[in-house]
């Protein structure tokens, strides 16, 4: 272990969490880990110490990262029996970093509860999917105290490239919800465009290539359009998780008195996919809902 190594905790070793944790291990830090189910081989075969509870992680680590699917999962990890909060009692100077994508409103409450037991709290949701997690190129949107952010920033830099302190607790989650609105609507736009082009008889792959050189170019056109054309809908980022994020957007918008009509439409397209067994498809699979309405698939020979 190098002289600059830290005692870190990581809870939630799924598609995103495992590679993120792996970058921290590779940087020479001492990791204490816990996850639902079996610890993946990519972590189990390293120097990481496996803990049976989230409390055990919090007792041993100075900075504890959480990466789980939804708001109730975070609440259980933090405040359930043998949760993180129980392991923080009696300690000072520790930081809890929630990198899940959850409710901004709940996040503010979680931060207050963690501060009440003597630790600081950062909400730090990410964007970039499995590819970004594996490559250490995630965009990380952070809410919380400046001092805690500065202490954790070198660790964020092992997992991501675009790292921004947005504001106070909850603001990181708000930025992530905004991100998910943009991503969903971009997927829908790309899907419509490729479906139109393909139905008109053009080669969708060549249309994509042409559009990548113009003002319509985007990461969605680059990555997800290729998935739509090649029919590769293994996640990635599951539709069920994007549905969860759009639910956060729509419920928060109702509370704020803001109308998000196209976000609601994108959610209905995701709902259609789920009705056809697509909860676990990559979110680029939204195109399948549009294809159902057109009775035509991208790449199919137009009559």
Helix (H, G, I), strand (E, B) or coil at 298: coil
Instruction: Using only the alpha carbons of the chain, give its radius of gyration.
Output: 21
- Integer angstrom CA distances of residue 180 from 32, 125, 126, 193: 31, 11, 10, 20
Instruction: Evaluate whether 56 touches 27 at the Cβ level (below 8 Å).
Output: no
Active site residues: 176
**Adjacent-strand bridge partners of 31:** 8
Instruction: Evaluate whether 243 touches 187 at the Cβ level (below 8 Å).
Output: no
Cis check: omega of the bond before 236, within 30 degrees of 0: yes
Chain CA centroid to CA 261, Å: 23
Instruction: Evaluate whether 18 touches 40 at the Cβ level (below 8 Å).
Output: yes
**Percentage helix, strand, coil for the chain under 3-state DSSP, each rounded to 5:** 55, 15, 30
């Amino acid at each position: 272990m190098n002289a600059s190594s830290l005692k870190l905790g990581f809870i939630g070793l799924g598609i995103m969490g495992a590679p993120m944790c792996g970058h921290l291990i590779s940087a020479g830090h001492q990791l204490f880990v816990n996850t639902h189910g079996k610890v993946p081989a990519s972590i189990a075969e390293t120097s990481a110490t496996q803990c049976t509870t989230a409390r055990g992680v919090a007792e041993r680590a100075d900075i504890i990262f959480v990466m789980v699917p939804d708001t109730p999962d975070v609440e259980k990890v933090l405040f359930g029996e043998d949760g993180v909060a129980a392991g923080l009692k009696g300690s000072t100077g520790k930081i809890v970093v929630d990198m899940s994508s959850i409710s901004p409103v709940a996040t503010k409450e979680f931060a207050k509860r963690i501060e009440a037991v003597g630790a600081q709290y950062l909400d730090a949701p990410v964007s970039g999917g499995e590819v970004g997690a594996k490559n250490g190129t995630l965009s990380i949107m952070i809410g919380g105290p400046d001092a805690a952010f500065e202490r954790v920033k070198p660790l964020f830099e092992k997992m991501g490239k675009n790292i921004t302190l947005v504001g106070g607790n909850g603001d990181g989650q708000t930025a992530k919800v905004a991100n998910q609105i943009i991503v969903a609507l971009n997927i829908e736009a790309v899907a419509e465009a490729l479906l139109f082009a393909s139905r008109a008889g053009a080669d969708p792959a060549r249309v994509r290539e042409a559009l990548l050189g113009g003002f319509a170019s985007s990461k969605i056109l680059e990555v997800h359009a290729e998935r739509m054309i090649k029919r590769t809908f293994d996640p990635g980022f599951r539709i069920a998780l994007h549905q969860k994020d759009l639910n956060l957007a729509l419920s928060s918008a109702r509370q704020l008195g803001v109308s998000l009509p196209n976000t609601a439409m994108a959610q209905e397209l995701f709902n259609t996919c789920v009705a056809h067994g697509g909860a676990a498809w990559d979110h680029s699979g939204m195109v399948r809902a549009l294809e159902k309405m057109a009775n035509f698939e991208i790449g199919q020979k137009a009559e």
